[in-house]
């Protein structure tokens, strides 16, 4: 079979690229039967997106990430129904250590027209939080950034929604076909076909959007484990374990004072955190962070804390079975106590609820780049790599920008995410957050 655009991976990025390619080709009267084909080794929504927390926010310390996310948050809002999006808002709540970083975020959000409110000072923050939640009790909060257009969606539901949108526009999605090899044409650097478990597929352009499986594809594309990052040799890929969990709690009861669905709350602080379970100190004189939200799809309060670095060499990471079925990569046993204690640290409604924690497999692994930010770029002349560094479920708009680039229109929003930034040392700035991607 031959296609103009062959996409590997039916997650957020593969499907939103397929959807947008079809729409744009149709507009140009160039959409044919096999123009856009998506190959998926398993079923639609079986990668990282299917176990994602489902949070879409703009709050990033890196200006280029905020521009990218402003575009994506618009896509979420414009397609809220198909993508299961709940515009509940997102709140970044901080101790003194992060106030300066957050005020920069707020200033740029204002400049790029992204709606948010910023409050500083312990007294005003406490008042702002208590106006929303009369049981708010976190101490030591010095800034609150409240994004109004952000929110959450159903992890799998949004991807299934994208698959419907892509199919409706004319994309073919073929499930149960695993790509095994990428082959070049003779005497050419460009890729010509892929060998799969169901035969050979030819294409003019290949789009690789394989989430955590990117390390394997990097090799199939002929690249090395180590790259030059600003003069030093560094691993291209590393893996993190995302620590997440669920609390049995009716999400419809997790509301604001005026009975609205609660915004997503993210707290980064160096306040002392004491276990409500054992009385032991969990964190003292160090920054820690958690996030939580009502989740009407999982019928609980769902959230997480900062991820764990996996030390195993990347090529030895066992990705199958992926996600909650993984025998090897699970949320750590310490997470339960930390997260439930932190929920009570924030809101009285969660006091005594630690026993309601759902003790089952949760979280999952993700693959990160050297600076922990995405790479969107063309390799080997005709392979477009969409590698979101494992925080890109929210980046639902990337597919539209990638489709533009594939059709010859360069995107200034994607420009800061080229691979050459590593060699040039043009890395994205790091914030003081305990999360690698904030």
Ligand X SMILES: Cc1cc2nc3c(=O)[nH]c(=O)nc-3n(C[C@H](O)[C@H](O)[C@H](O)COP(=O)(O)OP(=O)(O)OC[C@H]3O[C@@H](n4cnc5c(N)ncnc54)[C@H](O)[C@@H]3O)c2cc1C
CB of 21 to ligand X, least distance (A): 15
Binding of residue 400 to ligand X (CB under 6 A)? no
User: In sequence order, what E strands does 62-190 have?
Assistant: 90-94, 116-120, 143-147, 151-152, 172-175, 179-184
> How many residues sit close enough to ligand X to count as binding (CB under 6 A)?
38
Cβ proximity to ligand X: between 179 and 310 the closer is 179
Q: Choose the stretch contacting ligand X; rule: CB under 6 A; options: 44-52, 79-87, 340-348, 409-417.
A: 44-52
Give CA torsion, residues 298, 302, 306, 309, to 10 deg: -20
- Cβ proximity to ligand X: between 128 and 364 the closer is 364
Distance (Å, whole) CA 92 – CA 144: 6
The two three-digit tokens of residue 403, written as one number: 């489709």
Binds ligand X (CB under 6 A): choice among 12, 18, 375, 385? 12
Q: How many CB atoms lie within 10 A of CB 80?
A: 15
What Rg, from alpha-carbon coordinates, does the chain have? 22
Shortest Å distance, C-beta 280 to ligand X? 26
What minimum distance in Å lies between the beta carbon of 319 and ligand X? 8
Please give the structure tokens belonging to residue 372: 């922990």
Q: Among 4-12, 22-30, 231-239, 280-288, which window interacts with ligand X (CB under 6 A)?
A: 4-12
- Burial zone of 419 (CB within 10 Å; 0-12 exposed, 13-18 middle, 19+ buried): middle
Give the whole-angstrom CA distance, residue 166 versus residue 163: 5
What Å distances lie between residue 410 and 4, 13, 344, 414, CA to CA? 19, 18, 48, 8
Q: Of residues 11, 151, 161, 245, which one binds ligand X by CB under 6 A?
A: 11
- Is there binding between residue 398 and ligand X (CB under 6 A)? no
Closer by beta carbon to ligand X, 283 or else 372: 372
Q: By the 8 A CB rule, do 12 and 392 touch?
A: yes
Strand order across the 238-242 sheet: 308-310, 238-242, 364-368
Closest CA to 120 of 91, 87, 142: 142
Binding of ligand X by 10 (CB under 6 A): yes
Q: Is 52 in the site for ligand X (CB under 6 A)?
A: yes
Least Cβ distance, residue 434 to ligand X (angstroms):
16
9 lies in the site for ligand X, by CB under 6 A: yes
Work out how close the CB of 72 gets to ligand X at its nearest, in angstroms, rounded to a whole number: 9
95: contact with ligand X by CB under 6 A: no
**Residues between 207 and 226 that touch ligand X (CB under 6 A):** 209-213
- Cα(128)–Cα(124) distance, integer angstroms: 6
Binding residues for ligand X restricted to 252-311, rule: CB under 6 A? none
Minimum CB distance to ligand X smaller for 249 or for 335? 335
Binder of ligand X out of 153, 170, 366, 434 (CB under 6 A):
366
256: buried, middle or exposed (CB in 10 Å: 19+, 13-18, 0-12)? middle
Question: Interface with ligand X includes 161 (CB under 6 A)?
Answer: no
Residue 247 bridge partners (DSSP) = 301, 357
Q: Does position 49 bind ligand X by CB under 6 A?
A: yes
Applying CB under 6 A, which part among 46-54, 164-172, 254-262, 309-317 lies near ligand X? 46-54
How many whole angstroms separate alpha carbon 216 and alpha carbon 213? 6
Of 41-49, 97-105, 267-275, 281-289: span binding ligand X (CB under 6 A):
41-49
CA distances from 236 to 221, 225, 232, 373, 387 (A): 13, 6, 12, 12, 11
In the list 147, 261, 295, 388, the residue contacting ligand X (rule: CB under 6 A) is 388
178 is an interface residue for ligand X by CB under 6 A: yes
**Shortest gap between Cβ of 158 and ligand X (angstroms)?**
10
Candidates 37, 55, 271, 383: give the one binding ligand X (CB under 6 A).
55
From candidates 6, 7, 22, 40, binder to ligand X by CB under 6 A: 40
Three-class secondary structure of residue 136 per DSSP? strand
Residue 343 DSSP code? H
Asked if 317 is part of the footprint of ligand X (rule: CB under 6 A), the reply reads: no
Among positions 24, 146, 254, 394, the unique one binding ligand X when judged by CB under 6 A: 394
Residues that bind ligand X (CB under 6 A): 8-14, 39-42, 46-49, 51-55, 178-179, 209-213, 242, 244, 363-364, 366, 388, 390-394
């Amino acid at each position: 079979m031959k296609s103009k655009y062959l996409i590997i991976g039916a997650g957020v990025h593969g499907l939103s690229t397929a959807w947008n390619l079809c729409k744009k080709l149709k507009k140009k009267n160039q959409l044919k039967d096999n123009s856009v084909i998506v190959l998926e080794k398993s079923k639609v929504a079986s990668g990282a997106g299917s176990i994602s927390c489902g949070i879409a926010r703009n709050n990033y310390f890196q200006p280029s990430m905020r521009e990218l996310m402003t575009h994506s948050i618009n896509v979420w809002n414009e397609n809220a129904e198909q993508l299961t999006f709940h515009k509940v808002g997102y709140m970044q709540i901080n101790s003194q250590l992060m106030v300066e970083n957050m005020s920069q975020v707020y200033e740029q959000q204002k400049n790029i027209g992204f709606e948010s409110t910023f409050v500083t000072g312990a007294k005003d923050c406490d008042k702002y939080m208590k106006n929303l939640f009369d049981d708010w009790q976190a101490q030591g909060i010095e800034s609150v950034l409240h994004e109004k257009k952000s929110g959450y969606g159903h992890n799998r539901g949004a991807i299934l929604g994208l698959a419907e949108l892509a199919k409706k526009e004319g994309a073919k999605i073929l499930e149960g076909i695993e790509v095994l090899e990428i082959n070049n044409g003779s005497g050419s650097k460009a890729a010509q076909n892929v060998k799969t478990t169901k035969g050979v597929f030819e294409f003019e352009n290949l789009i690789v959007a394989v989430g955590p499986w990117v390390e394997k594809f990097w090799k199939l594309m002929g690249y090395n484990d180590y790259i030059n990052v600003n003069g030093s040799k560094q691993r291209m890929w590393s893996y993190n374990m995302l620590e997440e969990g669920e609390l049995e709690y009716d999400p419809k009861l997790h509301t604001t004072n005026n009975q609205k669905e609660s915004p997503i709350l993210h707290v980064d602080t160096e306040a002392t955190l004491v276990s409500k379970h054992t009385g032991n100190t969990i964190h003292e004189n160090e920054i820690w962070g958690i996030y939580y939200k009502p989740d009407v799809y999982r019928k609980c309060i769902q959230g997480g804390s900062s991820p764990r670095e996996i030390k195993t060499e990347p090529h030895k990471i066992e990705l199958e079975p992926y996600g909650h079925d993984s025998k090897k990569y699970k949320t750590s046993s310490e997470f339960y106590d930390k997260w439930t204690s932190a929920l009570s640290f924030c809101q009285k409604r969660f006091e005594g609820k630690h026993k309601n924690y759902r003790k089952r497999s949760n979280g999952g692994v993700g693959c990160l780049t050297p600076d922990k930010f995405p790479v969107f770029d063309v390799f080997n002349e005709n392979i477009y790599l969409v590698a979101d560094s494992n925080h890109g479920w929210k980046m639902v708009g990337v597919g539209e920008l990638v489709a533009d680039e594939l059709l010859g229109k360069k995107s200034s929003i994607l420009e800061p995410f080229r691979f050459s930034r590593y060699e040039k040392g043009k890395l994205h700035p790091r914030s003081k957050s305990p999360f690698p991607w904030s």
